[in-house]
Amino acid sequence: MPETLTQAELSTFLSGLPSVDAARAELERRAGGRFRTIFPDEGPLRRDLYPKHMEFIRAGAQHRERLFLKANRVGGTVLGSFEVTAHATGRYPHWWAGRRFHRSCDIWVAGDTAETTRDILQLELLGPPGQPHLQGTAMLPADAIYHTTPGRITNSVSAIYVRHTSGDLSTVNFKSFDQGRRSFQGTQKSVIWADEEIPDDVYAECLLRTMETGAFEGGIMMLTFTPLLGLTSLVQSFLEDRELDAVHEERLAVRA
């Protein structure tokens, strides 16, 4: 028979147990994060209730450039992080009708500043900044996160290495527009996602990274933002292109 615990020993044991919130977070992390629960077949959050989001995903099969032109708080960042996760992991849901990559992906995710990239995009994909024990409770499933590297500001991450179904590793690099155009020079990219309106020179540089060249089948450029700056040249170019058959296969603006 085990010895009876003293009151002090029992108190010490109970104080070492995780809180209800911590236990719930750990169960969610082990279950696969948010990616498994977004856009379900049925229920109050079923994907049939999000036709614009579904249109944006489907358009990826045909359009290299896409803009989700949205109001505030309609899930544009969630949509972008969901698609990035699908491409980074190769775990496309059964209903997926958008672009598919059959090998690991090299991905850029960008916001307007290093701080907003950390506080919004890193939070959405990886989990709360500065809390590594909560990695895997956001969009990227915990079992898909292989490694992270630290970023240039406190509690930020510069890259996430993600396990892909092909057996290789995808790379998700965080960038920001305030780094300037030259920081977006480099090699080919499978996916580039900008969650705020991107400067014209940076956008042009990103398009070069997604061009089809040689054995590279070409990548995709995704924009998700609210047009706070009004009818800029970038916004206008997408809205005008939607009416032109000659370029309809290249660009699409989905307004939500």
pLDDT tens column, 118-167: 999 999 999 999 998 888 889 999 999 999 999 999 999 999 999 999 99
- Tell whether 1 is covered by a domain: no
Q: What does the pLDDT look like over 41-81, one tens digit per residue? A: 999 989 999 999 999 999 999 999 999 999 888 999 999 99
Write down the H helix ranges in the chain: 7-15, 20-31, 51-59, 76-89, 114-116, 123-125, 200-209, 233-241
62: tokens are 């045909």
CB 115 within 8 A of CB 3: no
pLDDT at position 15: 79
What is the C-alpha radius of gyration for the chain, rounded to an integer number of angstroms? 21
Query: Rounded distance, CA 84 to CA 230, Å?
Result: 27
Residue 202 above 90 pLDDT? yes
Report the predicted TM-score, pTM, of the whole model to 2 decimal places. 0.84
* Nearest in space to 104 (alpha carbons), one of 206, 189, 211, 220: 189
Q: What does the pLDDT look like over 165-197, one tens digit per residue? A: 999 999 999 999 999 999 999 889 999 999 999
- If one counts the domains in the chain, the total is 1
Q: What are phi and psi of 226, to 5 degrees?
A: -95, 130
Query: Rounded distance, CA 116 to CA 114, Å?
Result: 6
Q: How far apart are the first and last CA of the chain?
A: 66
Query: Rounded distance, CA 237 to CA 250, Å?
Result: 12
Confidence label for 5 from pLDDT (cuts 50, 70 and 90): confident
- Tell whether 115 is covered by a domain: yes
- The CATH number of whichever domain residue 103 belongs to comes to 3.40.50
* Nearest in space to 140 (alpha carbons), one of 184, 111, 171: 171
- Tell whether 2 is covered by a domain: no
Residues 6 or more apart whose Cβ sits within 8 Å of residue 20: none
Range of the domain at 142: 7-255
